[in-house]
Amino acid sequence: MTAVLTAEGVQSLAWLLIAFPLAGAAVLLLGGRRTDKWGHLLGCAMSLASFAVGVAMFVQMLGYGHEERRRVVHLFQYLVVGDLKVDMGLLIDPLSISFVLLITGVGSLIHIYSIGYMEHDPDRRRFFAFLNLFVASMLLLVLADNYLGLYIGWEGVGLASYLLIGFWQYKPTAATAAKKAFVVNRVGDFGLSIAIMLMFATFGTISFTGVFENAGGAEKGVVTAIGLLLLLGACGKSAQLPLQSWLLDAMEGPTPVSALIHAATMVTAGVYLIVRSNPIFELAPTAQLAVTVVGAATLLAGAIIGCGKDDIKKALAGSTMSQIGYMHLAAGLGKAGYVFAIAHLIAHGFFKAGMFLGAGSVMHGMKDAVNMRKYGALRAVMVITWATFGLGYLAIIGFPGLSGWFTKDGIIEAAFHKGGTSGAILGGCTLLGAGITAYYMSRVMFMTFFGGKRWDDGVHPHESPKVMTVPLMLLSVGSVLMGGFLVLGGFSEFLAPSLPPGMEEHHFEPITNAGIATFVLMIIGVGIAWRQYAARPVPREAPRGSLVTVAARKDLYGDAINESLIMRPGQWLTRLAVFFDNKGVDGVVNGLAAGIGGTSGRVRRLQTGFVRSYALSMFIGAALVVGALVLVRI
Amino acid sequence: MLTLLIALPALGAFGITLLPRGRDELAKQVALGISIVVAVLTIGMALRFEPGGARFQFTESYWWIKQFGVHWAVGVDGVALVLIALSVILMPLVILASWSEADRFGGAELPKADLDKYARPKRSVKTYFALLLSLEAMMIGVFAATDVFLFYVFFEAMLIPMYFIIGSFGGPQRSYAAVKFLLYSLFGGLIMLVAVIALYSQGPGTFLFAELSKLNLDPTTAKWLFLGFFIAFAIKAPLVPFHTWLPDAAGQAPTGAAVLLVGVLDKVGTYGMLRFCLELFPSAAKWFTPVVITLAVIGIIYGAVLAIGQVDLKRLVAYTSISHFGFIALGIFAMTSQGQSGATLYMVNHGFSTAALFLIVGFLIVRRGSARIDAFGGVQKVAPVLAGTFLIAGLSGLALPGLSSFVSEFLVLVGTFTRYRVPAVIAAVGIVLAAVYILWMYQRTMNGPTAEPVKGMKDLSHRELAALAPIIAIIVALGFYPKPVLDVINPSVQHTMSRVQMKDPAPTVAEKGTRP
């Protein structure tokens, strides 16, 4: 890593990135109904303004040499207590700018799409306020130059996520899902906050530079502990095992939210955290191994869940879990994987957001139906949606030449490249995952757009308005080109200043053994899906299915496990505690009072005409004081 | 200056009692006016406070009872200053919020049938506001007193107005709650009185804090005296297992009084621990530290679990406070500058965020005629502004970063962690539990389909919004920029730290450059 310089020019105005959407959220929330008419336009304008600033900063960065690309803007001193000094500053480096462009770019497209999607919602203004709030928090998360600032953004996006999942809060399922997301995330936050405490106790500072420069001097156990605690935080935010259960329920939110927060940006914050903290993880191989294990387990679990879902959004949510698992696995591989983790993250941001918005477009035309068994044959009536979704689909399954092929295959190769047993196991998982991905994504594709019509009566699907389809088209361009652009365009060199020194040069090879294996598995996956969901009619009611299908439908029993291990005992404990407090602690006191008073009747009398008794006891108290003072004088 | 601040509301209270019968509106306006003047004067004073100057500023000292060495001695350091500021800022807002609370028919909007379930005030409107103002005088006095005996007098006298407010204007079970509150507090007070006198007997014949804190007590005596003070403060704060009076008192008290009780009065307990327990008996305090830390951590978790299990809104907020008082005590006895500054800031922040929670809960109860959580549902749909403020207050209660309580909770945890790892980690579980009790409460009252009796519920009135808006503004402002308040608190905490002869643990890895 190179030294950090002070930002100049546009970059010194980096706070504007956050200020624009924050101001938008404030105006829309405080302005209330008065802003209903133009609220959505303000929301979009603020997001676009941020994007413009981001692009300008990016261009300015490209003008610098590699050693000069890490710059910081000092904002203000947040607090000073003893040795704990927290200066709020924004770090502009290749890693953060990549996120800034993704968040504001994809974010703006989703804002624009939402104008159409939320058109008939009476609370559209509030929706845009929350979207703006999310963008502001997410930008703080990736731009902060210290862990406390990151933590503030981290919880800010959690809040925005809570508000948006529960946007239709009158639905009990939405309200419950929102609360669940927040609480499960808090378990992760518990890890992150303890990691920060441990950093302060160890290094006396919680700024990135302070922690990273001194990480080498700390005991190995401490660094490993910090790494594992950060991983716990990452698991919460990125819906990785064992904190994955909230993400599938989060699909209760409006679809643009699923696209922006629960696919493209927020859920990747865990990957950001790990890649940003690379100096810690480089010193803690055990923590790195844990990251890869979590990633591998989640990528398979998510993929299997994706296979069993008939709800189009939940199938995509399983896919998101799985893809973020890939990113974590890559991040855990260390130097060999960081670049692919981020490249896949960005490419995924485009194709997954595109597909989610595509799903939203389908729902828009299908009276908000989400069950793919009630879809079918939509390619004829929704040409743009079909085409854009199709490109995203080809990208995610890794069709040669499209984004996923570059970035996901990179991860698979890097996993095998690790060598040894662990390399073989991890590589095997990624390979297997690729096959399953091809299967469940083809299943979504075929059930939705191919086959016969299985629509409900009275549903007349139609293409969505331009304000929705144009963002779809732009995102599909990203789905096609972004991976190739990043991998061939020197993304690893670009990111290098943010990553540990001595990164291996990566030469892109179009045909490798792993690549061929991936391709074959992909074809097999698509083939099976074709046989099951395209070559023969899809039943409108879900068949019973095999054991695996049933398990996948139930999210691999994640909720059942949480319920029996945590919720039930928790409820039991709560009831016991309430009983104990009322009857035990308080009972003893009341009993004592009654005992001293002789009978409980006397206590009752005490309670009614107590004013005089009070005056009396005050008098006695005062007499005691005077008496005591006199005695002391003697 | 401080004497004036104490005298003004006291005289105001007296003045209100002299008003002729039936002039209720005038009584309210006088009370509001005086509380605003006090707040303005205090803020003016706070701006002239020099953090880098003498420890106690704006000091005054006169003989009160010369024979017994009792002074009317007042003065503020950073800690006392911010707590006085908390009290006087909350006061006008509380008066504003409880404008019609003492009216014969408290919630005029209620249907007759619901009203009967709700106890009616026993005393007149002007009594209520006179009591509130007299309470304000004593709250300022108790934080400003620099004479231990004077502190004791205020500490005990505070009970009287609160007792009458709960007993006369509270809910259906008010007399039980008021007596319980009184018995607990009197018990603590008497123990403290014994300790105060015993301490006096060890000293040079004065009650002045500055003199008494120089004493070198015999270790055994110090331990006993520490306990005398500590039990009184632990009841007041309250710490588990001395807490059971609080949910009753706060649950039965009228809303405004509940705000002052939990927001300010209980802070006297934690303030007393920091100021008196630590500085008067430093070595005893260190000896008892493991016990207090254990109680604090138990309180954090126990209070939070109980909060989750409550079915009554006010009792729920009261239990969350028990959990939060655990955090404050933890920070104080962690004996680090982060812990103690964090704990002091926590007292302020908790005052504001609990005030907001209690006020909104109060507004809800007046509208619905019930405090039971299951009496609500779907309020968000009919009263979005009320729901929005409730959410912000709740998020502050669960210490969301970006809101003020986060800063203090984080400082307490960091400060504890550097010295006591395991207690800090257990306490941090509280942040998960806080999300559960706040959001579950919010979901059950605000979300979901709108319940039938809630359908006609009105959103916040301008008066109610005027009472809440400043609190919310402070919560947000201190969340983003806590430094000014911390800068006021820090020097005082440094005094305490040096008195107990404790230094912050050094980081295990020194920063580059400073490493030998």
Query: Are residues B315 and B167 located together in one domain of the fold?
Result: no
Bigger pLDDT: A243 or A542?
A: A243
- Place A560 in a pLDDT band, splitting at 50, 70 and 90: confident
Flag if A169 and B448 touch (Cβ within 8 Å). Answer: yes
* Shortest CA distance from A167: residue in chain B: B447
Q: Are strands A71-81 and A5-6 parallel, antiparallel or unpaired?
A: parallel
- Place A346 in a pLDDT band, splitting at 50, 70 and 90: very high
Query: Are residues B374 and B396 located together in one domain of the fold?
Result: yes
Query: Are residues B265 and B371 located together in one domain of the fold?
Result: no
CA distance B463 to chain A (A): 17
Complex ipTM value: 0.90
Structural domain includes residue B240 = no
* pLDDT tops 90 at residue B372: no
The per-residue pLDDT of chain B, averaged, comes to 87
**C-alpha neighbours within 13 Å on the C-beta side of residue A164:** 32
pLDDT digit string, tens, across residues B170-203: 878 888 888 888 888 888 888 888 898 888 888 8
Q: Spell A62-84 as b/e; 16+ CB within 10 A means b.
A: eeeeeeebbbbbebeebbebbbb
- Which of residues B275, B292, B327 is at a domain's end? B275
What's the pLDDT at A614? 54
Give the other-Cβ count within 10 Å of B266's Cβ: 29
* pLDDT tops 50 at residue A484: yes
Q: Which residues of A touch B411 (CB under 8 A)?
A: 79, 81, 84
- Which of residues B275, B291, B326 is at a domain's end? B275
Tokens, residue B332:
């104080």
* pLDDT tops 80 at residue B123: no
Q: Touching check for B307 and chain A: CB below 8 Å?
A: no
Flag if A29 and B388 touch (Cβ within 8 Å). Answer: yes
What's the pLDDT at A607? 47
What is the SS3 assignment for B261? helix
- Place A505 in a pLDDT band, splitting at 50, 70 and 90: low
Torsion-angle region of B97 (φ positive above 0: left; ψ -120 to 50: alpha; else: beta): alpha
Q: Are strands B70-76 and B57-65 parallel, antiparallel or unpaired?
A: antiparallel
Distance CA B91, CA B89 (A): 6
What is residue A264's DSSP assignment? I
User: What average pLDDT does the segment A103-108 reach?
Assistant: 92
A406: Cβ–Cβ under 8 A, 6 or more apart, which residues?
A343, A347, A483, A484, A486, A487, A488, A508
Distance CA B201, CA A283 (A): 61
| Facing A632 at nearest CB: one of B183, B197, B388 | B197
| The three-state (H, E, C) secondary structure of A75-134, written as one string | EEEEEEECCEEEEEEEEECHHHHHHHHHHHHHHHHHHHHHHHHCCCCCCHHHHHHHHHHH
Query: Are residues B423 and B446 located together in one domain of the fold?
Result: yes
Query: Are residues B337 and B458 located together in one domain of the fold?
Result: yes
Q: What percent of chain B has pLDDT over 70?
A: 95
* Amino acid of residue B277: C
Query: Are residues B415 and B440 located together in one domain of the fold?
Result: yes
* pLDDT tops 60 at residue A163: yes
* pLDDT tops 50 at residue A507: yes
What is the SS3 assignment for B7? helix
Task: Give the least confident one: A32-36, A449-453, A590-594.
Answer: A590-594
| Facing B306 at nearest CB: one of A80, A578, A608 | A578
Flag if B401 and A175 touch (Cβ within 8 Å). Answer: no
- Place A603 in a pLDDT band, splitting at 50, 70 and 90: very low
What's the pLDDT at B151? 92
Q: How distant, in Å, are the alpha carbons of A18, A223, A485, A540, B76 from that of A94? A: 18, 25, 16, 49, 50
* pLDDT tops 50 at residue B336: yes
User: What average pLDDT does the segment A338-345 reach?
Assistant: 91
Q: Touching check for B473 and chain A: CB below 8 Å?
A: no
What's the pLDDT at A18? 92
Flag if A574 and B305 touch (Cβ within 8 Å). Answer: yes
CA distance A69 to chain B (A): 23
pLDDT digit string, tens, across residues B32-90: 999 999 999 999 999 999 888 888 899 888 888 888 888 899 999 999 999 999 999 99
Q: Spell B449-461 as b/e; 16+ CB within 10 A means b.
A: ebbebbeebebbe
Q: Which residues of B touch A31 (CB under 8 A)?
A: none
- Place B107 in a pLDDT band, splitting at 50, 70 and 90: very low
Structural domain includes residue B296 = yes
Query: Are residues B67 and B177 located together in one domain of the fold?
Result: yes
Mutation choice for A interface testing from B414, B416, B490 by most A CBs within 10 A: B414
The per-residue pLDDT of chain A, averaged, comes to 85
| Facing A186 at nearest CB: one of B243, B305, B431 | B431
Mutation choice for A interface testing from B447, B468, B515 by most A CBs within 10 A: B447
B109 within 8 A of B456, measured Cβ to Cβ: no
Which H or E run contains B75?
A: strand B70-76
What's the pLDDT at A193? 93
- Place A606 in a pLDDT band, splitting at 50, 70 and 90: very low
Bigger pLDDT: B319 or B66?
A: B319
Structural domain includes residue B210 = no
What's the pLDDT at A269? 92
Task: Give the least confident one: A26-35, A609-618, B95-104, B183-192.
Answer: A609-618
Q: How distant, in Å, are the alpha carbons of A26, A42, A46, A120, A378 from that of A38? A: 14, 6, 12, 14, 34
What's the pLDDT at A608? 46
- Place B118 in a pLDDT band, splitting at 50, 70 and 90: low
Q: Touching check for B67 and chain A: CB below 8 Å?
A: yes
Query: Are residues B288 and B258 located together in one domain of the fold?
Result: no
pLDDT digit string, tens, across residues A25-70: 999 988 888 888 888 899 899 999 999 999 999 998 888 888 888 8
* pLDDT tops 70 at residue A627: no
Structural domain includes residue B213 = no
Give the other-Cβ count within 10 Å of A286's Cβ: 15
What's the pLDDT at A628? 54
Flag if A575 and B439 touch (Cβ within 8 Å). Answer: no
- Which of residues B255, B275, B295 is at a domain's end? B275
* Shortest CA distance from B157: residue in chain A: A618
pLDDT digit string, tens, across residues A358-412: 999 988 888 888 888 888 788 888 888 899 999 999 999 888 888 888 888 888 8
| Facing A218 at nearest CB: one of B308, B310, B508 | B508
CA distance A218 to chain B (A): 6
Beta-carbon pairs below 8 A across chains A and B = 211
What's the pLDDT at B309? 86
C-alpha closest to that of B392 among B407, B383, B381, B402: B402
Q: What is the pTM of this model?
A: 0.90
Query: Are residues B126 and B166 located together in one domain of the fold?
Result: yes
Note which residues in 394-453 of chain B have CB less than 8 A from chain A: 395, 400-402, 406-407, 410-411, 413-415, 417-418, 421, 424-425, 428-429, 431-432, 435-436, 439-440, 442-443, 446-450
Task: Give the least confident one: A500-509, B113-122, B327-336, B339-348.
Answer: B113-122
Structural domain includes residue B113 = yes
Name beta bridge partners: B372: B312
Structural domain includes residue B152 = yes
* pLDDT tops 60 at residue B513: no
What's the pLDDT at B113? 47
* pLDDT tops 90 at residue A452: no
| Facing B439 at nearest CB: one of A29, A179, A581 | A179
User: What average pLDDT does the segment B453-458 reach?
Assistant: 82
Q: Which residues of A touch B413 (CB under 8 A)?
A: 193, 197
Query: What domain range includes position B337?
Result: 281-503
| Facing B512 at nearest CB: one of A214, A606, A632 | A214
Task: Give the least confident one: A304-308, A503-507, A623-627.
Answer: A623-627
Q: Which residues of B touch A614 (CB under 8 A)?
A: 160, 163, 182
| Facing B309 at nearest CB: one of A200, A222, A577 | A577
Flag if A170 and B241 touch (Cβ within 8 Å). Answer: no
Structural domain includes residue B223 = no
Query: Are residues B265 and B336 located together in one domain of the fold?
Result: no
Flag if A585 and B244 touch (Cβ within 8 Å). Answer: yes
| Facing B507 at nearest CB: one of A183, A201, A593 | A201
Q: Which residues of A touch B342 (CB under 8 A)?
A: 81
Give the other-Cβ count within 10 Å of A5's Cβ: 15
Which H or E run contains B73?
A: strand B70-76
* Shortest CA distance from A162: residue in chain B: B439
Query: Are residues B266 and B305 located together in one domain of the fold?
Result: no
B267 within 8 A of B175, measured Cβ to Cβ: no
Structural domain includes residue B512 = no
Q: Which residues of A touch B176 (CB under 8 A)?
A: 607
Flag if A170 and B380 touch (Cβ within 8 Å). Answer: yes
B492 within 8 A of B77, measured Cβ to Cβ: yes
Query: Are residues B256 and B366 located together in one domain of the fold?
Result: no
* pLDDT tops 90 at residue A195: yes
What's the pLDDT at B81? 93
Q: Which residues of B touch A581 (CB under 8 A)?
A: 244, 302, 306
What's the pLDDT at B137? 93
What's the pLDDT at B474? 93
**How many structural domains is chain B composed of?**
2
What's the pLDDT at B516? 35
User: What average pLDDT does the segment A143-152 reach?
Assistant: 93
pLDDT digit string, tens, across residues B11-40: 988 888 888 877 788 888 889 999 999 999
CA distance B192 to chain A (A): 11
B68 within 8 A of B204, measured Cβ to Cβ: no
User: What average pLDDT does the segment A78-93 reach?
Assistant: 90
